Amino acid sequence: MDRKLSNKDIILLVILIAVMLNITSFCVAYPEIGKPESNTLARDFSAYYTGAYRLLHNPTKIYYDGVQPGDYQILPHPQPFKYTPSFLILFAPFLAVDYLTALTIFDILQLALIPALAFFVYKLVKDKNLFLGAVAAVIILIQPLPTPSINSPPAPLINLGLFSVNSQAFAPGYYCGYLFVNAHILQAVLLLGALYLGFAKKPWLSALLFAFALLDPRAAIVALPLLLWYNRQKIRHFLIATAIFVLATNLPFFLYYNIGSTFLRTVMNTYIISQSYAYDWIPIYGVVALTIVEITIAIHKKTTLNRKTIGVRQDLATTSQSLDIN
């Protein structure tokens, strides 16, 4: 006897298809990552590698653009580092290998984290409305939505036999993230992990992932209301843990060569904060999708409750009238 697919089965199927499309984007982008991004700049990963290298060898120049004396040589030129100082903690281990090896390891690592991202998504949406949950899963794992970005490179066509499809058609943000070896895919994993752990009532672990997900504060700020919502039953623990972890991972940098102060001055630079790239929207769209799901469900529950309350009041009023007549 054939078993009818449950909502959870359908959500799982949607997630598996989305993961396969995500992997396809990686496979298309991967052959290009060893090449420079342009005639003048290396891939985005060069910013992380150079930032970590300067942390150990030239800490006063971490947020300076261009090649500095004593830099690790990356051709043609490394990208400028513009993320939170705590981000350097995650990238210091990559200095154990040369730049190209580290770049390859990091891109593969981001791909390897996609199943973890899929797990977080499944746990968060499996008991929600089927349509809303499926749409949120697709947005988080593929990010097919248009982005007001300034760097959408031409992508090769995928030959499907009878026709060909542009490789950016499925996951433009992820394609750019893998192609430029950018860390916003990692940030999406950290933010979704923090949301899931809050949902699972593990506020300390939620706060820990959130502290490292602050690498780009824009997406972290968007995620904060939903994080507070998921951690609402243990909100005090979450807030205390967040304060501890954020201070522990960033305060030392304010005491070490004023790296923290330099970062704050960099953030205030209009040129830096006005830039928008396709991969920037991976964590933002993902968080917004989940937020819309939760708001929609909350409104539906409240509406249903109000209707039931009105119905009960009407029944009581009818019963009272009947008693009065008798």
Alpha-helical (H) ranges within the chain are 7-29, 45-57, 87-91, 99-112, 114-125, 130-141, 172-180, 184-199, 203-212, 217-230, 235-255, 259-267, 270-274, 281-325
Cα–Cα dist 214/223, whole Å: 10
Q: Is residue 61 part of a domain?
A: yes
On whether residue 173 sits in a domain, the answer given is yes
Assess if residue 326 is contained within a domain.
Answer: no
Q: What is the pLDDT of residue 247?
A: 95
Q: How many structural domains are present in the chain?
A: 1
What amino acid is encoded at 119 in this protein?
F
Q: What DSSP state is assigned to residue 182?
A: -
Find the helix packing angle between 184-199 and 99-112, rounded to 10°.
40
User: How many whole angstroms separate alpha carbon 102 and alpha carbon 83?
Assistant: 18
Segments of the chain scoring below 70 in pLDDT = 1-2, 148-170, 268-275, 311-326
Domain that holds residue 49: 7-318
Q: Which residues pair with 159 in a beta bridge?
A: 164
Separation between Cα atoms, residue 314 and residue 312, nearest integer Å: 5
pLDDT reported for residue 151:
58
Are 227 and 198 spatial neighbours (Cβ–Cβ below 8 Å)?
yes
Per-residue model confidence (pLDDT) at position 322:
64
Task: Name the strand (E) or helix (H) holding 159.
Answer: strand 157-159
For residue 1, being part of any structural domain is answered with: no
Nearest to 217 by CA among 68, 86, 63: 86
Q: Is the pTM of this model over 0.95?
A: no
Residue 2 lies in a domain: no
Residue 163: per-residue pLDDT? 47
Query: b/e for 226-245, b at 16 or more Cβ within 10 A?
Result: bbebbbeebeebbeebbeeb
pLDDT at position 278 is: 87
HEC per residue, 90-147: HHHHHHHCCHHHHHHHHHHHHHHCHHHHHHHHHHHHCCCCHHHHHHHHHHHHCCCCCC
Within-domain flag for 187: yes
Which among 249, 259, 323, 280 has a CA at the least distance from the CA of 51? Answer: 259
- Percent pLDDT > 70 in the chain is 85
Other Cβ atoms closer than 10 A to 195: 29
Residue 324: inside a domain, yes or no? no
pLDDT one-digit tens code per residue, 163-220: 445 555 567 889 999 999 999 999 999 999 999 999 999 999 999 999 999 988 889 9
Q: Please give the span between the terminal C-alpha atoms of the chain, in angstroms, as a whole number.
A: 57
CA separation for the pair 230, 195 (Å, rounded): 7
